[in-house]
Amino acid sequence: MNDGTSGLRFGAMAVIVALIFVVPLVWNASTASTMHENADELATQWVQDIFPPEEARSARTSCQATDSDNNGYISCTLNITRNGEEQLIPIECHAYVLLNYGDTCRPLVPLTMGVRR
């Protein structure tokens, strides 16, 4: 006997699927400027945490607007003077404000010479 509850169950499942999968995708797609701002703030903080103060003060960061490869990170470039030499260091910083987990930023090349751990 069909009492009409199967339709309700299907509707409830559709809502749950939408909440789990669709809403985060729409949210992240609609927050590109927020992702850029988040990555830029994280890059600035990361530089201050990793490099000696005299190097961190002169550092400048520039981050892309979106997560182009969908890995949860935005590509940034760090422009810093180290040992009297200007260097460009590619880094990636976490893009999503709501799902900010793990490392804040990470270098795309090994860092050497006077980096604090």
pLDDT tens, per residue, the chain with 117 residues: 455 566 667 777 777 766 666 656 555 554 566 777 888 888 999 999 999 998 898 899 999 988 888 888 889 999 999 888 899 999 999 877 665 555 688 888 666 555 554
> What predicted TM-score, i.e. pTM, was given to this entire model?
0.63
Beta bridge partners of 76: 63, 91
Task: Please check whether residues 67 and 15 belong to one and the same domain.
Answer: no
**Both tokens of residue 93?**
């910083």
Which has the closest alpha carbon to 78: 43, 39, 36? 43
Task: Please check whether residues 25 and 37 belong to one and the same domain.
Answer: no
Classify residue 70 by burial, with Cβ atoms within 10 Å: 0-12, 13-18, 19+: exposed
**Both tokens of residue 109?**
């090349």
**Both tokens of residue 6?**
């199967």
Beta-sheet strands, E only, within 1-117: 60-63, 73-82, 85-94, 105-107
Task: Please check whether residues 36 and 26 belong to one and the same domain.
Answer: no
The residue range of the domain holding 97 is 32-117
Task: Please check whether residues 23 and 78 belong to one and the same domain.
Answer: no
- The pLDDT > 70 percentage for the chain reads 65
Number of domains in the chain: 2
